[in-house]
């Protein structure tokens, strides 16, 4: 424990700026993955354990598209769309067959596909780790804000993610599609009886989840090394985020991601040996105080 460094850091604007922005960066990527996870759970009541693999696929698609086009905008859009298609196909051909079944069956299908996706990546891109490299636009010196260091790429990353978060919230809360999704989450048989094709709706929800995870992968690709199996650690963390924020709540995922990001960055200053543990400890505290998570609703 190193509480004096933590106190020093909190007393210095430079340190606060740097740590808060890096907390935002960690949190924002987590949010994109966790949002898809929580959305799928909210509507379909299944935990999509292949979600980490979607993130990995997004990163690998980004690598290839970036090598082919050299344009990072095309990379982001292409990787997100391609991953959305994978999500759609995965839901229509496989997940949709196990909805009514035992949770163990669903777990088994997901776990099987984690292995299949990991091995497909190995076959297509090779087992060794890859690095995409920073797009030339962002190869500039970092900015100094109040003495804190902020890289421009991370400003872009946080900006884009917040925009996506707001767009997602608007889609779910303000559009007809969002209304149908919310209704299906509440009472799928009624929605189905009212003439909505829930099969297509479920497919679209998975595609949206894939879109978000793929986007996160493409945003992470310039700064994280790509390996088969890279989805696993982000799956665990985004799972913690959804548990803290409340399963099924987008706002909860947003707040949970930010909290985890900040816990990590300030934790590494104050509790360098217990940063990981702090995250789990926080989850335990939240679960004791509010078993449904910060923004979770009681399941009727």
Print the SS3 string covering the chain: CCHHHHHHHHHCHHHHHHHHHHHHHHHHHHHHHHHHHHHHHHHHCCCCCCHHHHHHHHHHHHHHHHHHHCCHHHHHHHHHHHHHHHHHHHHHHCHHHHCCCCHHHHHHHHHHHHHHHHHHHHHHHCCCCECCCCCHHHCCCCEEECCEEECHHHHHHHHHHHHHHHHHHHHHHHCHHHHHHHHHHHCHHHHHHCCCCHHHHHHHHHHHHHHHHHHHHHHHCCCCCECCCCHHHHHHHHHHHHHHHCCCCHHHHHHHHHHHHHHHHHHHHHCCCCHHHHHHHHHHHHHHHCCCCCCCCCCC
Of these, 112, 272, 277, 291, which contacts another protein (CB under 8 A)?
272
Nearer to another protein, 94 or 232 (CB): 232
15 binds another protein (CB under 8 A): yes
Of these, 224, 274, 278, 282, which contacts another protein (CB under 8 A)?
224
With CB under 8 A as the contact rule, which of the stretches 88-96, 144-152, 178-186, 192-200 interacts with another protein?
A: 144-152
Nearest approach, Cβ of residue 153 and another protein (Å): 5
269 binds another protein (CB under 8 A): yes
Chain positions 57 to 116 lying near another protein, rule: CB under 8 A, are none
Of these, 42, 78, 87, 151, which contacts another protein (CB under 8 A)?
151
Of these, 13, 112, 127, 199, which contacts another protein (CB under 8 A)?
127
Nearest approach, Cβ of residue 18 and another protein (Å): 5
139 binds another protein (CB under 8 A): yes
Nearer to another protein, 136 or 189 (CB): 136
Of these, 71, 96, 180, 275, which contacts another protein (CB under 8 A)?
275
161 binds another protein (CB under 8 A): no
Residue numbers of the site for another protein (CB under 8 A)?
A: 9, 14-15, 18-19, 22, 25-26, 29, 127-134, 138-139, 141-142, 149, 151-154, 220, 222-225, 227, 229-230, 233-234, 264-265, 267-269, 272-273, 275-276
């Amino acid at each position: 424990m190193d509480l004096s460094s933590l106190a020093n850091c909190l007393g210095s604007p430079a340190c606060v700026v740097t740590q808060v922005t890096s907390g935002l960066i960690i949190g924002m990527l987590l949010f994109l993955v966790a949002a898809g996870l929580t959305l799928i759970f909210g509507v379909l009541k299944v935990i999509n354990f292949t979600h980490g693999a979607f993130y990995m696929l997004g990163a690998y698609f980004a690598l290839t598209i970036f090598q082919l086009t050299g344009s990072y905008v095309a990379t982001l859009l292409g990787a997100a769309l391609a991953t959305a298609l994978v999500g759609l196909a995965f839901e229509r051909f496989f997940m949709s067959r196990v909805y009514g079944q035992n949770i163990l069956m669903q777990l088994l299908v997901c776990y099987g596909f984690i292995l299949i996706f990991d091995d497909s990546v190995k076959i297509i891109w090779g087992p060794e780790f890859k690095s995409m490299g920073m797009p030339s636009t962002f190869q500039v010196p970092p900015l100094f804000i109040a003495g804190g260091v902020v890289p421009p790429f991370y400003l872009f990353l946080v900006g884009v993610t917040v925009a996506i978060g707001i767009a997602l919230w608007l889609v779910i809360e303000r559009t007809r599609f969002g209304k149908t999704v919310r209704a299906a989450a509440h009472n799928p048989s009624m929605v189905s009886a009212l003439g909505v094709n829930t099969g297509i709706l479920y497919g679209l929800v998975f595609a949206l989840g894939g879109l978000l995870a793929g986007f996160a992968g493409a945003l992470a690709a310039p700064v994280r090394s790509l390996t088969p199996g890279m989805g696993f650690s982000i799956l665990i963390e985004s799972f913690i985020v959804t548990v803290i924020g409340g399963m099924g709540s987008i706002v909860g995922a947003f707040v949970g991601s930010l909290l985890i990001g900040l816990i990590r960055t300030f934790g590494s200053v104050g509790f360098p040996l217990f940063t990981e543990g702090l995250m789990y400890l926080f989850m335990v505290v939240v679960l004791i105080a509010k078993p449904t998570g910060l923004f979770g609703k009681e399941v009727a």
